[in-house]
């Protein structure tokens, strides 16, 4: 008996040594970086608060390319935008895949979530479908609906100081109207709350980088009765599919155009399953609402902390728009500083610490060997705070964007895996921020005779995502006349969106014919 145990121990130790030695051989050819102990990960160094500082420390110590391990796989952390453009742009044919997240893709989404799909035929098919209604020309047709929802949000802000709820309703209602044909008129709408709960749970769980099954994919075959984490993922999957399939069924019964009907009518989508459609549309909702809400919270923070920038934006709005009407998206060509203000919000406090890609074949770059299936992490924070690119990057300075209006922030990613909804997201941010700057003043809140301070570095950290912690601010109309303009414009606005959606559908069909 002892002989069998000893033999098993020898085999186990030999196997472990072989695996460690093999991984070490691969790791030694990566760029310099923290060397983990056997069977541990250099990623452990990032499991702390203020992860952006840990990432910056790695680049200061090792340079713009850092070799490490991530989920048991070799990984490279990129800290320079020009390197990211090289790999995701010029070499995008091999750097456009995703690191395999078994929990996020296989278990929680049944293998159909567009964001998590590896580069290949299915990703191309589903991305092509999304592009038919999220490309730049299509998004321009959504402007009347964006203006209606932003007007509704101004009205909400006049009645409530819960601006986070107002912002969440804004983007959720816009996306819901386009996707399923109906608005979400109240921040307390049960539909909105259900959507938010599922989206929040999914994003938090799917992007959690500590699932054991992601490091050891064979664990996905463990029976659910023996794996609580698997039952948890399957429950999220079932809830998501049930919710969004129900909405798809209702969308097909509405009178007006919507994304569901649009996809059904496309000639090349006859082979798309209902399950794939759940995630073609649902992934846009899951990703977009949270990011837009968090960015608008950062916008309010920037307005309170940088009144000189607010004054410059309001002076521009007063010159171009005046005080008798609200700005529209058609005004933006004449509002370069307002546009620069939004771009600077996106750069000043990046909400995505690092975007993950994967390389599909062995590659050599700058003298280093990057093995097939290595995880490639684009360090967004390092790029947006790069002192060689940005003068005084810690400062909030919209004017840095004025010399080149075509220059875009990298918040939406680079290469073929750029955010599919980037154009819609940017226009949503521009209409909402331009109207708030036109309408309101932004100041610190006061409590008990004392000013309530705002910590611009206070974030909740969810894996590689940052969410600003709640803070208080005072948002008031700039003057009674602007208050009257908001109220009278809202009163006169047409609230029935069916004709509006049908017009959008006709314009998109005509443009694509």
Cβ burial, residue 418 (10 Å; 0-12/13-18/19+): middle
Written as six digits, the tokens of 117 are 């799909």
Q: For residues 393 and 384, is the Cβ–Cβ distance under 8 A?
A: yes
> Can you give 332-344 as a three-state secondary structure string?
HHHCHHHHHHHHH
CA–CA gap between residue 144 and residue 161 (Å, rounded): 26
Q: Binding site for heme, residues?
A: 419
H or E element, residue 55: helix 51-62
Q: Which two tokens stand for residue 209?
A: 């980088």
* Two tokens, residue 15: 């196997």
Residues ≥6 apart with Cβ < 8 Å to 270: none
The binding site consists of: 419
CA atoms within 13 A on the CB side of 179: 27
Alpha helices in 207-258 (DSSP H): 212-215, 228-251
DSSP string of 375-417, one letter each residue: EEEEEHHHHHT-TTTSSSTTS--GGGGTT-TT---GGG-SGGG
DSSP state of 32: S
Residue of 162, 99, 245, 178 lying closest to 504 (CA atoms): 178
Q: What tokens appear for 258 in the block?
A: 């919507």
């Amino acid at each position: 008996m002892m002989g069998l145990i000893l033999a098993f121990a020898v085999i186990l130790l030999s196997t472990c040594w072989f695996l460690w030695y093999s991984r070490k051989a691969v790791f030694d050819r990566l760029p310099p970086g923290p060397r983990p102990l056997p069977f541990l990960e250099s990623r452990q160094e990032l499991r702390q608060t203020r992860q952006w500082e840990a990432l910056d420390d790695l680049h200061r110590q090792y340079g713009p390319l850092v070799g490490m391990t991530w989920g048991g796989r070799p990984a490279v952390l990129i800290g320079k935008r020009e390197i990211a453009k090289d790999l995701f742009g010029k070499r995008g044919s091999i750097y456009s895949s995703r690191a395999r997240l078994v929990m996020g893709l296989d278990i929680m989404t049944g293998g159909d979530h567009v964001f998590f799909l590896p580069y290949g035929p299915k990703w191309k098919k589903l991305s092509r479908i999304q592009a038919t209604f999220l490309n730049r020309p299509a998004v321009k047709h959504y402007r009347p609906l964006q203006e209606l929802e932003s007007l509704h949000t101004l009205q909400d802000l006049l009645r409530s100081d819960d601006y986070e709820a107002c912002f969440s309703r804004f983007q959720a209602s816009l996306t819901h109207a386009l996707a399923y044909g109906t608005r979400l008129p109240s921040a307390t709408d049960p539909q909105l709350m259900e959507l938010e709960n599922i989206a929040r749970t999914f994003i938090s769980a799917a992007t959690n980088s500590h699932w054991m099954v992601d490091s050891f994919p064979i664990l996905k075959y463990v029976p659910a009765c023996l794996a609580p984490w698997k039952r948890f993922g399957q429950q999220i999957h079932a809830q998501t599919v049930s919710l969004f399939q129900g909405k798809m069924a209702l969308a097909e019964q509405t009178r007006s155009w919507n994304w569901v009907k649009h996809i059904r009518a496309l000639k090349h989508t006859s082979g798309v399953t209902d399950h794939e459609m759940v995630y073609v549309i649902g992934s846009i909702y899951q990703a977009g609402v949270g990011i837009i809400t968090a960015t608008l919270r950062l916008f309010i923070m920037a307005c309170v902390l940088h009144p000189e920038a607010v004054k410059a934006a309001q002076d521009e709005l007063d010159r171009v728009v005046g005080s008798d009407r609200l700005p529209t998206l058609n005004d933006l060509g004449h509002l370069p500083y307002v546009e620069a203000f939004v771009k600077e919000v996106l750069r000043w406090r990046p909400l995505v610490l690092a975007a993950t890609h994967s390389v599909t074949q062995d590659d050599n770059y700058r003298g280093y060997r990057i093995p097939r299936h290595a995880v490639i992490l684009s360090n967004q924070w390092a790029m947006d705070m790069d002192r060689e690119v940005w003068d005084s990057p810690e400062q909030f300075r919209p004017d840095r964007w004025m010399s080149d209006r075509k220059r875009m922030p990298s918040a939406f990613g680079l290469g073929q895996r750029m955010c599919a909804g980037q154009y819609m997201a940017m226009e949503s941010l521009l209409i909402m921020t331009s109207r708030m700057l036109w309408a309101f003043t932004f100041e610190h809140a006061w409590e008990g005779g004392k000013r309530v301070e705002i910590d611009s570095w206070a974030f909740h950290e969810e894996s590689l995502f940052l969410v600003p912690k709640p803070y208080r601010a005072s948002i008031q109309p700039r003057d009674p006349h602007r208050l009257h303009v908001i109220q009278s414009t809202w009163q006169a606005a047409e609230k029935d969106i069916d004709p509006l959606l049908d017009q959008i559908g006709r314009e998109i069909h005509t443009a694509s014919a």
